[in-house]
Amino acid sequence: MTSALLVSLKVLAVDVPLLLVLGTAIGWVLAKREFPGRRLLSFLVLLPVALPPAVLGLYLLMLFGHLPLLQELGFVFSFPAAALAALVPSLPLMVQSARVGFAAVPGEVGGAARTLGDGEFAVFRKVTLRLSRRSLAAGVALASARALGDFGVTLMLAGNIPGRTQTLPLYIFSQVEALEFAAANLAALVLTVAAVAALALVRSLEGGGYGRQLA
């Protein structure tokens, strides 16, 4: 189980910064900007949540498995593929939390900062980001828990290779197949503790300020 746990932690180490950057950027654009195609972008960002994991994994496999450069690099069934497979279905959770948090910041607050001479980036950093930090933290917690527990997309795109792409959910699957239920239950306990901790953090963040708007 140690090897699978390390692979899962490595996936999180790659995905959490990406979730924070991409989720925050896309959430801000959807909450604060009007542009042609905004509704389509919102639909496409949320689509991975609605698609069955096997279908999403198959689409990613067909897409990345037929790109010549990625074929040469051996992307499919590799660790980068495992990181991407966990990222895609978890990103919508981060985007949605960021979007709700940014939309809850009154425009008048940013306007007041601009009258004091702050530029757009300063307004974002000093006002918007600060007032949305609870929603962003909740989004990171939920999206990380989703990435840690991904099974179907990772299996389709990265396979179940011990020490390389086998994460904890895939390890559980392998142990059940081998009728090693003690090992499977131990790994399941680790994921359950992580899920409960993430949910407790989200509930704690919802207890104050703009976090209530996530409920």
CA distances to 31, 38, 97, 147, 203 from 198, in Å: 25, 30, 14, 12, 9
Over the chain (215 residues), the average pLDDT of each successive run of 10 is 91 94 92 88 90 91 81 84 93 92 79 72 79 88 91 90 92 92 92 89 69 44
Structure tokens at 148: 């840690």
Could you give the angle at which helices 2-32 and 79-103 cross, rounded to 10 degrees? 40
pTM of the model: 0.81
What per-residue confidence (pLDDT) applies to 91? 94
Contacts of 32 (CB under 8 A, 6+ apart): 102, 103, 128
**Shortest CA distance to 56 belongs to which of 84, 77, 80, 37?**
84
**Shortest CA distance to 194 belongs to which of 163, 151, 149, 150?**
149
What per-residue confidence (pLDDT) applies to 208? 57
CA distances to 69, 86, 160 from 66, in Å: 9, 20, 20
What per-residue confidence (pLDDT) applies to 207? 67
Distance CA 203, CA 215 (A): 9
